[in-house]
Amino acid sequence: MNLLMLVWKNSLRKKIRFSLTCLSVMVAFFLLTTLAGIDHALNISTSANNQYRLMTSHKISMTQSLPINYQQKIATIEGVEAVSYVSWFGGFFQNEKNQLGITAVEHNSYFSLFNEYKILTEQLVNWKNNRTGIIIGQAIANKYGWKIGDKVPLSSSIWMNREGSFSWEFTVEAIYQTEDVATDDKRMFFQHKYFDKARAYAQNSTSWFSTKISPNANSDKVIAAIDNLFANSTSATRTTTEQVFIKEQAQQFVDMAMVIKVVLIAVFFTLLLIVCNSMIQTIRERLNETAMMKALGFSSFKLIQQVYLESLLLLATGAITGCLLANLTLAQVQQKMADFLPGIAIAPSYYFDVALLVALAAAVCSLFPAISIKRLAISKTLGAR
């Protein structure tokens, strides 16, 4: 019988203990992996896109609107290449359970700034020429079976139109594609010009501005210049980078960075306590066997190696299962949180970190059994029996 087979047989001697310990490890890595996926969305970099984009909203709250004419004033600031504006529409299809991420955007400039949304030129032109046209993501088109030319009735919980109704009708003019997980494929866009004329109130205002700065511009200086420009106005602004803006929206619900750190510490110590206890108990039960193996010529190193591999098997089984379950869960979480936090996914480098954590934890958990094996006296142990 080789070493690996011996490790496997010994690990499954106490099947209930092995299963329960693996279950505990699985839960720990499930939590860790799930939070790591959300942390990835908070810190993801969408290459050159969001490095040079700024978001400007009302200083008090995003629920407060800003005058649309701020666009021309921001455009005059040194280092600014382009400015667009967006208003949050929200909305749902048929009933409030079918919530949708719908925004009204400045149709001439928005998709030049946000070129991660891949739209056929012909479809984009048709959308610009139709004031009630709407652009939808491929995932939305697949979900509801919508295609180009379809009339789509949508409702809003916020915006009433001039007819006194919360129901709005749009025509699907374009379906956009995405190339990476950081870009949400479940959004919808329609023309802000139409929105501004059709809504019953808050004309000539917008929710926030998106600004693209030149690659050689100092983002901190541009941010300060924008906010200083409107510091004494009735609608003062607060400008941040796009990545910070997204992270702040998510952290309105919870400080994910702190949660992840706390969970990471808790997971590591939980692993040590659970697996250490299991391995110490295992070695205590096998004292006579260990002494006999020593008497037969097995070195302490070989016996310690066996304990380490058992710990590694226990931790790896739980970690792999936990990571797989977390990936399935994150697919559902991504659908629920895609409107304000796209990019929920596991980075490939995370699995390397998990492997290191498992290997390190296995080494620590084998420490006390290793000391017991090293100090084990054959004559005393077998003689006592």
The DSSP secondary structure of 223-244, one letter per residue, reads HHHHHHHTTTSSS-EEEEEHHH
Half-sphere exposure at residue 78, Cβ-oriented, CA atoms within 13 angstroms: 5
- What pLDDT score does 56 carry? 93
Stated pTM of the model: 0.64
- What pLDDT score does 48 carry? 45
Cβ-proximal residues to 264 (8 Å cutoff; 6+ apart), any chain: 32
Alpha-carbon distances of 233 from 54, 59, 85, 223, rounded to whole Å: 20, 11, 19, 17
- What pLDDT score does 45 carry? 47
Tens of pLDDT along the chain (385 residues) come to 577 777 777 777 788 888 888 888 888 888 888 878 877 776 664 444 556 899 999 998 878 899 999 999 999 999 999 999 999 998 889 888 888 889 999 999 999 999 889 999 999 999 999 999 999 999 899 999 999 999 999 999 889 999 999 999 999 999 999 877 667 788 999 999 999 999 999 999 999 999 999 988 888 899 999 999 999 899 999 998 887 776 666 555 455 666 666 777 777 787 778 888 888 888 787 777 777 787 777 777 888 888 888 888 888 999 999 999 988 888 777 766 655 566 677 878 888 988 998 898 888 888 888 888 887 777 666 665 5
Q: Which amino acid is it at 332?
A: Q
* Maximum C-alpha span of the chain: 96
Q: CA-to-CA distance for 133 and 152, rounded, in angstroms? A: 10
- What pLDDT score does 181 carry? 64
Render pLDDT for 25-45 as a digit per residue (tens, 0 to 9): 888 888 888 878 877 776 664
Q: Which of 110, 217, 102 is nearest to 158 (CA)?
A: 102
Q: CA-to-CA distance for 177 and 118, rounded, in angstroms? A: 5
Beta strands of 177-322 (E only): which ranges?
Answer: 187-191, 205-206, 208-213, 237-241
Q: Judging by DSSP bridges, how do beta strands 167-176 and 133-137 pair with one another?
A: parallel
**How distant is the alpha carbon of residue 113 from its chain centre?**
23
Q: CA-to-CA distance for 50 and 180, rounded, in angstroms? A: 14
- What pLDDT score does 42 carry? 65
Render pLDDT for 118-163 as a digit per residue (tens, 0 to 9): 999 999 999 999 999 999 999 899 999 999 999 999 999 889 999 9
Cβ-proximal residues to 169 (8 Å cutoff; 6+ apart), any chain: 132, 151, 152, 153, 154
Q: CA-to-CA distance for 184 and 100, rounded, in angstroms? A: 12
Alpha-carbon distances of 268 from 33, 307, 329, 359, 376, rounded to whole Å: 13, 19, 22, 12, 29
Q: Which of 149, 145, 142, 112 is nearest to 127 (CA)?
A: 149
